[in-house]
Amino acid sequence: MSIIISSCSRLPVLHIICELLVRAHVPSPEWAHSLYAVQHTACNGSSGLGLYSRPFIESFEETPMLVAVLTYMGYGILTIFGYLRDFLRDWKIERCHVAREREEQRDFVPLYQDFENFYTRNLYMRIRDSWNRPICSVPGAKVDLVERVSPDYNWTFDYTGKVVEGVINMGSYNYLGFAENTGYCADASAEVTMKYGVGVASTRQEMGNLDRHEEMEELVAKFLGVESAMAFGMGFATNSMNIPALTGKGCLILSDELNHASLVLGARLSGSTIRVFKHNNMQSLEKMLRDAIVHGQPRTHRPWKKILILVEGIYSMEGSIVRLPEVIALKKRYRAYLYLDEAHSIGALGPGGRGVVDYFGLDPRDVDVMMGTFTKSFGAAGGYIGGRKELLEYLRSHSHSAVYAASMSPPVVEQIIASMKCIMGEDGTTLGRDRVQQLAENTLYFRRRLTEMGFIIYGNSDSPVVPMMLYMPAKIGAFGREMLKRNIGVVVVGFPATPIIESRARFCISAAHTKDMLDTALSVISEVGDLLQVKYSRHERLIYDQIQD
């Protein structure tokens, strides 16, 4: 278990005890690895290296001491009650809702270790209603939810048949508002549905290479400003099935500690050596690069065949933006290769919506592998890889996805083509550009207002992913429920997606949010924030004044 404990160093003993208590019951350590730990730096000004063309403002306010203590106590109490209730269930005093193994297989080796689901059973189950809420409309700025009730404290759900209408959606990754059922993109997609059908029933290398796929890939390459691009049917699989084609034994992968599970899986499947550097910490990355080149492979000391740096554009749980200018400088200095995952940043950052490279005004050719997804900003599905022609030719023949997985559904492809053309202005309107701008404005406004209200907000001032700290486990569920009561849909996350004491709510800003919607949401957040007392911030922030300078 390669988990880094780095948060809140003031209370090491208590921290470790609680970590151990809770961690012992977590189903799989993989869960935690990718999303773990955080760097507590106070507001970093722009870097002294002079590589940045704009202020780079990222803040991770320190957890207040009292809050940390109370949070640990909360987990402690939950754990004690968990044991108590498990004991009652064991003695059949309390009814057990967990599905049971069938009689015929009782003498098999148990499929799950007894403690494996402790966390799910005793902690997650209490607040399970905050996740997987079914919706029955477009996941746009407002969304309709299927009403559900639980007769048995979240063990099962009944659907009442009613619909909760017009919930303001602060949870979907609909950054540019292309989740639509009418308009240019939907019409184009509808036409293709009737012409092509929805499936392809073959792989790209066999009989699934449609003209639409080729057209889309040319467009993606043009959009990214790279020589060539290739698309894949699933964003997660784009990472996990292509990294193994790029590196193998004798190669080194340097991965940010907060990288997404798909990057972690891809790195692991590749068989390369993996080393994890501190989140967005360039000193840590540089030290690892130097050590790697100077010392070579462990034991044999042979030089590494190649070094691949894996980073993301926007980190979806922290709202931080990668320090790309510095990463590129390091990569050039040490001749490493750079794999940039723009799952959340493509479309959502930069004046032209071309992602984090555009945001910093850099040259896309400096990034060796430009990866991203179509799921978020484009309102479609799947992922892409862009880069030099040689790279893409190699992937075309060696990507696991091209050889073994079904190619993309034609209507989905059409949605990508249409929305991308819209962003590029090729549809003859400025609609796309306006949306990119609207998103940037919404983001600044929303982040500023939340900070003013006294919440602790993580991440970069320009990131449309806005994590707001809740800390205590009980507040995760309470916040989700209270917001929904007031017709706002939010995402709340806790352990193991975040470090144990850093549970948070996450808002995803969309260009489709109007000022009214944002104001309504903000006033509700403030109201619930007062109710739950989550306005933790003790800083009078000046960062937004800096932006205006």
Partner 1 sequence: MLFIDYSSAFNTIISTKLRTLGLNTSICNWILDFLMGSPQAPAYHLVLEGILILWIIRLLFSKTYKLQERSDLTEKEKEDLIEEWQPEPLVPPMSKDHPSLNYDIVTGPPSHKIIVNGKECINFASFNFLGFLDNERVKQKALTSLRRYGVGTCGPRGFYGTFDVHLELEDRLAKFMKTEEAIIYSYGFATIASAIPAYSKRGDIVFVDEAACFSIQKGLQASRSFIKYFKHNDMEDLERLLKEQEIEDQRNPRKARVTRRFIIVEGLYINTADVCPLPDLVKLKYKYKVRIFLEESMSFGVLGEHGRGVTEHFGVNIDDIDLISANMENAVASIGGFCCGRSFVIDHQRLSGQGYCFSASLPPMLAAAAIEALNIMEEDPVVILIWFRFFIFMYDLVNKYFQIDSYSAVKSVIGEVYAPALHLQLERSSGSRDTDVRMLRSIVDYCLERQIALTLARYLDKEERFLPPPSIRVVVTIEQTEEDIEKAASCIREAALAILK
Backbone angles phi, psi at 257, to 5 degrees: -65, -20
Q: Name beta bridge partners: 488.
A: 168
Nearest-angstrom CA–CA distance, 116 and 27 = 5
Instruction: Check residue 211 for interaction with partner 1 (CB under 8 A).
Output: yes
Nearest-angstrom CA–CA distance, 361 and 339 = 18
Give the CA angle between residues 32, 323, 466 to the nearest 5°: 60
Ranges within 506-545 binding partner 1 (CB under 8 A)? none
Instruction: Check residue 290 for interaction with partner 1 (CB under 8 A).
Output: yes
Backbone angles phi, psi at 342, to 5 degrees: -100, 35
Six token digits for residue 333: 């200095």
User: Which residue among 2, 404, 425, 530 contacts partner 1 (CB under 8 A)?
Assistant: 404
b/e 288-302 (16+ beta carbons within 10 angstroms → b): bbeebeeeebeeeee
Of the pair 40, 290, the CB lying nearest partner 1 is at 290
Task: Choose, from 25, 142, 344, 475, the residue flagged as catalytic.
Answer: 344
Backbone angles phi, psi at 119, to 5 degrees: -65, -45
Instruction: Check residue 391 for interaction with partner 1 (CB under 8 A).
Output: yes
Question: Residue 192 CB, nearest distance to partner 1 (Å)?
Answer: 9
Instruction: Check residue 265 for interaction with partner 1 (CB under 8 A).
Output: yes
Of the pair 68, 416, the CB lying nearest partner 1 is at 416
Residues found in the chain: 549
Question: Residue 189 CB, nearest distance to partner 1 (Å)?
Answer: 5
Of the pair 410, 499, the CB lying nearest partner 1 is at 410
Q: Active site includes 2? A: no
Of the pair 17, 115, the CB lying nearest partner 1 is at 115
Instruction: Check residue 136 for interaction with partner 1 (CB under 8 A).
Output: yes
Ranges within 353-372 binding partner 1 (CB under 8 A)? 368-369
Containing H/E element for 493? strand 491-493
Q: Name beta bridge partners: 146.
A: 163
Instruction: Check residue 111 for interaction with partner 1 (CB under 8 A).
Output: yes
Residue 159 burial (CB count, 10 A):
10
Q: Which of these, 460, 467, 450, 451, lies nearest to 507 by C-alpha position?
A: 467
Ranges within 37-66 binding partner 1 (CB under 8 A)? none
User: Which residue among 73, 201, 531, 547 contacts partner 1 (CB under 8 A)?
Assistant: 201
User: Which residue among 323, 331, 400, 475 contacts partner 1 (CB under 8 A)?
Assistant: 400
Stretch that binds partner 1, among 9-17, 72-80, 409-417, 438-446 (CB under 8 A): 409-417
Of the pair 291, 441, the CB lying nearest partner 1 is at 291
Residue type, 170: M
Question: Residue 449 CB, nearest distance to partner 1 (Å)?
Answer: 23
Within 8 A by CB and 6+ apart from 94, the residues are: 85, 88
Instruction: Check residue 109 for interaction with partner 1 (CB under 8 A).
Output: yes
Per the listing, tokens 């050889």 go with 403
Q: Count interface residues toward partner 1 (CB under 8 A).
A: 126
Ranges within 215-234 binding partner 1 (CB under 8 A)? 233-234
Instruction: Check residue 96 for interaction with partner 1 (CB under 8 A).
Output: no
DSSP string, 107-120: TSPPSS-GGGGHHH
> So which residues are the catalytic ones?
316, 344, 376
